[in-house]
């Protein structure tokens, strides 16, 4: 309780130091600023709307923007939330913080990647991948299956309490149920699976040959690929063959003070132009709506084919809360 209170005071004090101009559209953004800044500046240029953006920071990473938005529920400061995943967005929707909006951008996104009530929509996705060190292991499903069947001290994943690994565990919770997931998880840890601090560390361990394989996301994989590391990728697939495609999400906050601007930004982020810009970035984010295929980088065309088999994510709200409660209670080294 004391630690929670101290954290809340720190977070509140930190954000009080940030005071955007009253006429600026306020955006809370969890996506990497190196990519998001370019998109938001282009929106400003095209519309003349001033944007004040609040990024997640290392100092508040354990609390995050979702927790901040929950704290601000009674007195919202944010107009638009650009999240880099979906579970936190689902939580905000369940808490009644998000305002439905079905604009031109919403209409072009497939149903599997948006809320049917219009409270959020996905765009510019990442895939969950196997990353394999090709000096250590053949990048084939058969080789991965064999390497996963014995001792796992040369396999790494990010700790599942956070990020896209948590999304992957939540999907398994929904598909398998509690008992099967717990047994599977405990078996893998008993076989010395390495759990590390983030997908980037998984990428580094596999790139260096410390581990043979692991789970990561497309953006981390391409960092290693572009650095000419000996790595290859295959999509993580569920029992039914579906892939795990995790979009950015955009949502308008209930009580937004700049509603017209918020709607314009939502449509902009969900547009073909925005998705193409993020596809061309080093992170190779995957367009979810229709785009001009001839203009897509070849890398992204392959990812897009895998993403077409993505499991729907909009009904994970209950599973997310249940799985997170278990992860918090489960002793993990």
pLDDT more than 90, % of the chain: 88
Q: Is the pLDDT of residue 105 over 70?
A: yes
Q: Please, where in the chain does CATH 3.40.190.10 lie?
A: 25-125+246-311, 126-244
Q: Is the dihedral of CA 78, 82, 87, 93 positive or negative?
A: positive
Q: Is the pLDDT of residue 9 over 70?
A: no
Statement: the pTM of the whole predicted model exceeds 0.85: yes
The pLDDT value given to residue 271: 98
**What is 25-125+246-311's CATH number?**
3.40.190.10
Number of helical (H) and strand (E) elements in the chain, helices listed first: 14, 10
If we measure between CA atoms, which residue out of 36, 31, 32 comes closest to residue 51?
36
The pLDDT value given to residue 57: 66
- What is the rounded distance in angstroms from the CA atom of residue 60 to the CA atom of residue 55? 10
* ∠ CA 112-254-65, rounded to 5°: 75
- CA–chain centroid gap for 278, Å, is 14
- What is the rounded distance in angstroms from the CA atom of residue 99 to the CA atom of residue 255? 8
The pLDDT value given to residue 19: 61
Q: What is the pLDDT of residues 179-226, one digit of tens each?
A: 999 999 999 999 999 999 999 999 999 999 999 999 999 999 999 999
Q: In this structure, how many other beta carbons lie within 10 angstroms of the beta carbon of residue 53?
A: 18
Q: Is the pLDDT of residue 106 over 60?
A: yes
Q: What is the pLDDT of residues 16-32, one digit of tens each?
A: 455 666 789 999 999 99
The pLDDT value given to residue 23: 86
* ∠ CA 265-73-264, rounded to 5°: 10
- What does the buried/exposed string (b/e) look like for 109-125 if buried means 16 or more CB atoms within 10 Å of the residue's CB? beeebbbeebbbbbbbb
Q: Is the pLDDT of residue 92 over 60?
A: yes
Q: What is the pLDDT of residues 65-78, one digit of tens each?
A: 999 999 999 999 99
CATH topology of domain 126-244: D-Maltodextrin-Binding Protein; domain 2 (3.40.190)
- What is the rounded distance in angstroms from the CA atom of residue 85 to the CA atom of residue 142? 30
- Going by their DSSP bridges, the two strands 155-158 and 194-196 should be labelled as parallel
The pLDDT value given to residue 333: 66
Where do the H-state alpha helices sit in the chain? 2-16, 33-47, 64-71, 87-94, 104-107, 141-147, 163-176, 178-190, 199-207, 218-226, 259-269, 272-280, 298-307, 317-329
CA dihedral 178, 183, 189, 194 (to 10 degrees): -40
């Amino acid at each position: 309780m004391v630690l929670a209170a101290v954290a809340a005071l720190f977070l509140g004090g930190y954000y009080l130091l940030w005071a955007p101009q009253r006429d600026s559209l306020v955006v809370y953004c969890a996506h990497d600023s190196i990519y998001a800044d370019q998109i938001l500046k282009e929106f400003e240029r095209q519309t003349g709307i001033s944007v004040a953006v609040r990024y997640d920071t290392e100092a508040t990473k354990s609390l995050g923007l979702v927790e901040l938005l929950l704290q601000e529920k009674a007195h919202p400061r944010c107009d638009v939330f650009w999240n880099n995943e979906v579970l936190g967005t689902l939580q905000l929707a369940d808490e009644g913080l998000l305002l439905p909006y079905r604009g031109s951008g919403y209409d072009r996104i497939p149903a599997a990647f948006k809320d049917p009530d219009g409270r959020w929509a996905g765009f510019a996705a990442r895939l969950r991948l196997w990353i394999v060190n090709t000096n250590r292991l053949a990048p084939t499903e058969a080789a991965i299956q064999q390497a996963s069947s014995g001792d796992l001290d040369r396999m790494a994943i990010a700790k599942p309490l956070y990020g896209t690994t948590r999304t992957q565990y939540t999907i398994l919770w929904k598909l398998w149920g509690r008992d099967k997931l717990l047994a599977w998880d405990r078996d893998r840890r008993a076989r010395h699976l390495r759990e590390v601090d983030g997908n980037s560390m998984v990428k580094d361990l596999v790139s260096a040959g410390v581990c043979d394989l692991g789970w990561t996301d497309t953006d981390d994989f391409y960092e290693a690929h572009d650095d000419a590391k000996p790595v290859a990728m295959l999509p993580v697939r569920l029992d039914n063959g579906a892939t795990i495609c995790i979009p950015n999400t955009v949502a308008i906050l209930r009580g937004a003070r700049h509603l017209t601007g918020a709607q314009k930004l939502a449509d902009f982020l969900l547009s073909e132009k925005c998705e193409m810009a993020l596809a061309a970035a080093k992170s190779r984010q995957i367009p979810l709506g229709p785009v001009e295929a001839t203009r897509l980088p070849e890398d992204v065309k392959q990812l897009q084919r895998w993403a077409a088999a993505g499991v729907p994510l909009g009904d994970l709200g209950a599973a997310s809360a249940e799985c997170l409660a278990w992860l918090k209670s489960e002793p993990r080294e």
